A and B are shown apart, each in its own frame.
Chain A
């Protein structure tokens, strides 16, 4: 993983690596439980720490938070049989248990981003005692909302054939995301670059974003097919029909405080797909934070990062004396 902030590898299983971000010098600790970030499988988590002035992680560190990030790795064909349960009960659970054991705690703060948020919701519902506070960002919960174009396109796919065909190429997945708004994302974006041809900083930022966009990892065949079928096609999470490793995922088991951050102009995870969470969690302390930005802007817009990082830090600090331990 490429990072701007300094990290150390603290745990590893197969290709999954847990990084701990080193605290920033002269920043006073906020004295809250560590935050473990669970990012999506479909993109690299580097975008959360893209460059010094566009790093959500750096802003969280600057607020005195103790941050871990789980990098799922880059699947190859030897990983094609990995299931969603391996990601949730194997890697995510393993990483969380490691932090709990080494920090001598019974629960941590969990921050799930996009699909990583969906996986975090599943984990939280299955192991509510291990999560003190849950933050979800641009996280799809209801996959059958009217504006969800990805869901419409996925509805009639043959997931068993896809699984048999092997890992899904990251390049193919990138093509699908670009197809959601082909003219803005494949034409206008480059034409507008001409206006910034003499701005070196803007050009470098653009190139870093481009590198990230076109650096999508391949998707493990079985886990991807399960995700397509269980979430996009059958919408099992909100129907209460999802099982992970034989255990039913009931969102009502999520009784800890939840902060649900979503983007008002999100064309990948429409707002309604995220806000559906409010009708399904069992938490009495549920907060929504809408942000005027798009899906990617949530991670990299300087204006948004300042708002979002501050909101996350404040929200967690307010709840630092949660009674999970």
Chain B
């Protein structure tokens, strides 16, 4: 939350600086570039895919997975840089038109245009095959870390004679299967014929 609010405050400062600056003045371009810098920082700190894995036992498989995780996060950071750069380029290209029709003095218009540029740049990356594969690798590695952590815990639980997740899963599977079989039998159960019983005879 603090990264989020800090980001908003910083963008507010940049918007004020940009609306007060004039195109062509010495501080105009650096101010524009600052938008890209802040965007990249926001993505690193706030994007859901950039969340860090839980701590784990750094031995063997776990160490290997953590190393993979670090490598993948670096690749992800590379994509955030690409998005920030592309967003800044698009925004720079459009800010001239904004200035020409007097829109630069309206922070709302400037911000809306900045968001449009950011989303457009993000979409170019997000739809790419490289990013899609990276998202899958990040997710698969996070899941593998979770499973490896659980395996380590299960080893210790088994040694202590305690029930494990795996044993509970197997039991649950059996119960679910029994319920499905029961449901299937209930649905296909033949209806009673409704024929009246002969007099004097009792149902056993």
Chain A positions near chain B (C-beta within 8 angstroms): 78, 80-83, 85-86, 89-90, 149, 152-158, 161-162, 164-165, 172, 175-176, 178-184, 186-188, 190-191, 195, 245
Q: Interface size for chain B: under 10, 10 to 19, 20 to 34, or 35 or more residues?
A: 35 or more
Contacts of A187 in B (CB 8 A): 7-8, 42, 115
Is B176 touching A156 in the complex (CB atoms < 8 A)? no
Return A122 CB to nearest CB of chain B, in Å. 17
Are B133 and A156 neighbours in the complex by a CB distance under 8 Å?
Answer: yes
Kindly provide the distance from the CB of A265 to the nearest chain B CB, expressed in whole angstroms: 13
Q: A152-B132, A186-B46 are in contact. Are A78 and B143 (CB under 8 A)?
A: no
A191–B111 CB distance below 8 A: yes
Is the CB–CB distance between B48 and A81 below 8 Å?
no
Query: What DSSP secondary structure best describes chain A's contact surface?
Result: helix
B136 contacts across to A, CB distance below 8 A:
153-158
Can you show 6 pairs from A to B with CB atoms below 8 A apart?
A81-B176, A152-B127, A152-B129, A153-B136, A156-B132, A165-B147
Q: How far is the CA of A181 from the CA of B48 in the complex (A)?
A: 12
B140 at the interface (CB under 8 A from A): yes
- In the bound complex, residues from chain B placing their C-beta under 8 Å from that of A186 are 4, 46
User: A176-B48, A179-B47 given as contacts; is B115 within 8 A of A155 (CB)?
Assistant: no
Contact B132 A153 (CB under 8 A): yes
Residues of chain A with a CB closer than 8 A to B147's CB: 161, 164-165
Let me know if B143 and A158 touch, CB within 8 A: yes
Chain A residues whose C-beta falls within 8 Å of the C-beta of B62 in the assembled complex: none
Q: Is residue B169 within 8 Å, beta carbon to beta carbon, of the partner chain?
A: yes
Per-position binary interface string of chain B over residues 116-145, scored 1 when its CB falls under 8 Å from any chain A CB and 0 otherwise? 001100110011010011011101100110
B16 within 8 A of A: no
B115 and A149 form a contact (CB under 8 A): no
A157 contacts B118, C-beta separation under 8 Å: no
- Asked if residues B49 and A179 are in contact (CB atoms below 8 Å), the reply is yes
Given A90-B183, A182-B47, A186-B46: A81 in contact with B172 (beta carbons within 8 A): yes
Return chain A residues, CB-CB under 8 Å to B47: 179, 182
Residue of B nearest to A186 (CB): B46
| B176 contact set on A, CB distance < 8 A | 81-83, 86
